Amino acid sequence: PVERTLSIIKPDAVEKNNIGKILAHLEEAGFKIVALRRTHLSRAEAEGFYAVHKARPFFGELVEFMTRSPVVISVLEREDAVDTYRKVMGATDPAKADAGTLRKLFGSSVGENAVHGSDSRENAKIEIAYYFPASEVAPSV
Ligand code: CMP
């Protein structure tokens, strides 16, 4: 079915001027960008977004990184969006990601890996609602 997922172009990719290339790649892959926002996350926003990772040893580093400079958050729509976007992103660690994936092309380490994507349909709904008011993600027709 046609569904939606949440994408974040992370600080490393924004710093390297790769916003346009990543968005073009997503459109080429058949995604419609149905909501889009550039913002500098506060510590509270980043901690809340990554709350499930709070107990992980890398949590502090993750929050530092995600608040270091602006990000570009979008809602992507297409058939099978959640799983398709995960394939387009590639493995979390860019060194292990397949050729041609966003993390291979634009990421540099497991922390600074260029993009985030929702890991399930359930989390996609939660993550979209975390960053976008309902009025900004209404059906586009
Ligand atoms: P993301 O999909 O945004 O969700 C959690 C993030 O934690 C993940 O991408 C990685 O970038 C990050 N992460 C996972 N493992 C590590 C690690 N060992 N060190 C730093 N960051 C990590």
What's the pLDDT at 140? Answer: 60
Distance, CA 111 to ligand 1 centroid (Å)? 5
Q: Tens digits of per-residue pLDDT, 73-92? A: 999 999 999 999 999 999 99
pLDDT at position 53 over 60: yes
Distance, CA 136 to ligand 1 centroid (Å)? 28
Alpha helix stretches (DSSP H) within the chain: 11-15, 19-28, 43-49, 59-66, 81-89, 102-106, 121-131
Residue 116 annotated to the active site: yes
Q: Tens digits of per-residue pLDDT, 91-121? A: 999 999 999 999 999 999 999 999 999 999 9
Is residue 12 within 8 Å of 66, Cβ to Cβ? no
pLDDT at position 60 over 70: yes
Q: Is 56 annotated as a binding residue?
A: no
Q: Which domains does the chain have, with CATH numbers?
A: 2-132 (3.30.70.141)
Q: Could you tell me if the CB of 61 is within 6 A of ligand 1?
A: yes
From 64, 88, 92, 112, mutation site for ligand 1 pocket: most ligand atoms within 8 A of C-beta: 92
Q: Is 39 annotated as a binding residue?
A: no
What's the pLDDT at 138? Answer: 79
What's the pLDDT at 139? Answer: 77
The chain-wide mean pLDDT, for the chain, equals 97
Distance, CA 112 to ligand 1 centroid (Å)? 8
- Rounded to the nearest 5 percent, the helix, strand and coil shares of the chain are 45, 20, 35
